[in-house]
Structures are given as C-alpha cells and as structure tokens.
Structure 1
Amino acid sequence: MTSWVPRLLPRNVRSLAASSENQRVEDGRRHQEAYGYFLPIQTRWQDNDQYGHVNNAVYYSYFDTIINHYLIRYCGLKTGLRTSPTVGFMVTNQCTFHTPVGFPQIPVAAFAVDKVGRSSVHYRLALFPPKPAGDLPAVEHRDFSDGFFFGHPRLAQFAALACTTGSAVHVFVNPATGKPTGLPEDFRPGLLRLVTQLPMPGTTLFSSWLFPPPSKPSAHPSQLPSSRHLLSFRREYDLSPRLSYKDTCDSTQGSQRSPRMITLSQNPQSYLQQFYQSETSC
C-alpha cells in the first residue's frame, strides 16, 4: 500500500505564485473601474524636478488632496483642530510609479475605499494622465470644486491606465487625547459609498459606488454614470448585494441601441428608474 506524504511546494514556486498574485492586484489598481471618485489636479511648474517630470514626493500631496477633498466635501470633515471632534492621522502611505507626468499636464486623481474600520480607513488611490491629444483636458471650475464620480463623461479625456497607484491609511483620533476614536456616524455613508472590490485584469466589476446608496442620492444627478459611457457590453455586472444588472448593448459611439434591464434581485431605486427612462440609447 502506497502512503502519501504531504509536501510543501518549493519556496521558489510559492514565491512566484505570490508574486503573480501581487502583480494581478497591482494591474487591477491601474484601471479606472477600480475607483469611484475623481478630482482633476492642476500640476504646477514647481512640481517638476530637474528631470522634467513631477518629482516622486509630490504625488503624495496629490493623493492627500483628493482624500481630504472628498472627506470635506462629501463626509463633512471639519478641519479646525479646536472645533473638530476627530482628526485624521496618516499612518501609512505608499506609491508605485508606472509612467511620469509633468507640468502643465492636468491629470485626474482617483479615490476608492478598501476598508472602513472602527477608527481607521484604508484608501486606494491612483493618478490617470490625460490622453496624448495635444490639448489640455477640457475641465471646468466645478470639476475642481466638486470632483466627479465614475461614469462621468470627463473620464474619456484621461488614459485608461494609471501612471501612479498608491494606498494610504487614516486613523481618526480624539484631538484632545491623541488616542484613536470611533468614526463619526455621518462619515460612514460617504466612505461606504466608495467601498469597492478590486477588478482583476480581464474582468469588469462595478460595485455599489456606481449608484449612490438609496438613503442619500447624489447631490449632482448629472454625475450619475451615463449609459453612453458603459461600453464593452454583453457581460453581467454585480453592482452590489442589492442589484444585479446585465446590459445587452455592444455599442461603440456610432451605433444606436437601447440598454435593457435583464435581472434585478430587488426593485431598483427611483433615481435608477429615472436614469434609464432618460437614457434611451448608448
């Protein structure tokens, strides 16, 4: 009788497997679909270093800008140390650089939430350069003040792959004691809105941030994703535990075909119904 002895894979094989998985995760982070909120960033002459592109240290300020912009604009963060019940301390910050950008380009920063804890928030970040069209992207003052969400037509002006990806962790503390404290309840809806699963290469996965939570519709209906920009179809999207959606439109910009609802696990919210009534073609 033959006896089998379990053996571990050789260390180099295990290392290759881990390396391959890490690469898949990093590749997923480079796609626009991995992010829910976007903010154009105006580069400055002083951002460039002697090599003619934005210095690596400056990217952290871009990411810091979009994080705090979203927290102030959509989560109600108060920035006054004496008036705010909580302040966020950055405990982890990381960047991976793929391709450079430089002044006077206007890239768009991207933001998503990986995890919301009791007192900490894990962020996913990226920077997408403008497409090499020769002209600067046509952004408006409102884009800099409000930002926009995934699906906005402005995203068509930016590259599909990020030039820089990153991550960060905020721990929120009591400013009087300096000790971690629970997140304010009014923070959570805005943060949970951007919690998404990371899409892997070869798949397209949209999560709950594609459509705002039913209890708090978007303040800007024009920023809801347009069916004209949900291309590469005939696949099913699991948007959230509440919604399952499949679009049969296999359009390009030139073809005309109406999107159709295929399956819904529950009745869609009213704003989603209105959205599909108003959007009649791809």
Structure 2
Amino acid sequence: MTQPPSDSVKHRTRASYTYFLTYRTRWSDNDQYSHMNNSIYYHLFDSIVNTYLIERCGLDPGSQQGKGNIGLVVESHCQFFSPISFPDVVDLGLRVTKLGTSSVSYEVGVFLTGKEGVAAVGGYTHVFVDRESRKSVRIDGEMRNGLNGLYTPTPKL
C-alpha cells in the first residue's frame, strides 16, 4: 500500500477523522526511554477498529467462535511525530481510507488530549475471509453499511 508523503500525514487534524475513542496511558506502556512503546500504538489501532466494528458494524466476537467470517490484518504501518508517555491521555481518531469488495483499510490518528495536531498516524488493512476455508468473502450488510459510514477520502492539504 502506498503511503501519502510524511509531511501531509503529519498535518492531519481531528477534522480528518469521524470516530473517536479516548485512551488513558498506563505506566507499563512506557519503554526504557520513558515514552510509549511502539507496540502499544498497534494495540491502540486494534482497539479502536474493533470497538467500531462491534458498536457500528454488527461484529459480535462472542457469537463468532468457530464459525463465520473474520478480518485478517495483511498490512500495517505507523509514523511517529511527537512522543507520548504515561500519564498522558490520548484521543484516537478513526477513518476508512479504502473499502473494497473483501478488504478495508483504516487510518488512526493519535492525538494528545487538548492538542489539534497528530502525535502519530497509522493503521492497517483487513481482508475478510471465511474462518474455516480462509477464502476471501464479500463485505456486505451491516458490516458494509457501518464501514461506509466511516469512509472519508484522504484530506486535501
């Protein structure tokens, strides 16, 4: 997946995103350099995407055990612009940048509470497949409607 130039991503604002979730950092999120460990950003991306899928797209993880369709992450990325560390509180902004027949690409903006500019921008691509066969499936129904509600084209700068 081709990423936009760093300077355009760096200038994302809250207005670039349509859904938000707040996260309070934990002491254990810090690495040896006293800022949030890179792996925590991916934890946050996964948390906001799955919260949205549960709240707005009909995903019910409890009823999907052993059957149905699942989303597999096939690509991920993150660009870091300013440090975050405990005890910061961050707001995560989410949008869909691409919605295909069986795949969806998400972008997450990480903002320090009270700040307009992003501290980091990242995301990933899900391909939806049948849990058993691992063959791709169409995104339709409530899932497609919910993801369409999150779709916003890349902002022009």
Q: Per the alignment, in what secondary structure is the counterpart of residue 26 of structure 1?
A: helix
Other-structure match for 1:63: 45
Pairing of 1:1-282 with structure 2 (within 5 A): 22-28=5-11, 30-80=12-62, 81-82=64-65, 84-130=67-113, 158-201=114-157
Q: Per the alignment, in what secondary structure is the counterpart of residue 199 of structure 1?
A: coil
Partner Cα separation in structure 1 for residue 88 and residue 53 of structure 2: 25
Higher Cα Rg: structure 1 or 2? 1
Partner Cα separation in structure 2 for residue 105 and residue 84 of structure 1: 39
Query: How far 1:115 sits from its partner (Å)?
Result: 1.2
Which ranges in structure 1 are unaligned for 5 or more consecutive residues? Answer: 1-20, 131-157, 202-282
Which ranges in structure 2 are unaligned for 5 or more consecutive residues? Answer: none
- TM-score, normalised by the number of residues in structure 1: 0.52
Partner Cα separation in structure 2 for residue 118 and residue 200 of structure 1: 25
Partner Cα separation in structure 1 for residue 83 and residue 6 of structure 2: 20
Task: Give CA deviations for 1:172-230 in whole Å, capped at 9, x if unaligned.
Answer: 110011111111311111111111122233xxxxxxxxxxxxxxxxxxxxxxxxxxxxx
Counterpart residue identity of residue 195, structure 1: Y
Structure of greater relative contact order (alpha carbons < 8 Å, 6+ residues apart): 2
Partner Cα separation in structure 2 for residue 41 and residue 176 of structure 1: 34
Question: Where do 4+ consecutive residues of structure 1 move more than 4 Å?
Answer: none
Partner Cα separation in structure 2 for residue 23 and residue 50 of structure 1: 26
Q: Which has the higher strand share?
A: 2
Q: Per the alignment, in what secondary structure is the counterpart of residue 107 of structure 1?
A: strand
Task: Give CA deviations for 1:205-263 in whole Å, capped at 9, x if unaligned.
Answer: xxxxxxxxxxxxxxxxxxxxxxxxxxxxxxxxxxxxxxxxxxxxxxxxxxxxxxxxxxx
Partner Cα separation in structure 2 for residue 123 and residue 46 of structure 1: 26
Q: Per the alignment, in what secondary structure is the counterpart of residue 50 of structure 2?
A: helix
Partner Cα separation in structure 1 for residue 112 and residue 97 of structure 2: 23
Q: Is the 8 A contact 1:41 1:109 kept in 2?
A: yes
Q: How many aligned positions are there?
A: 153
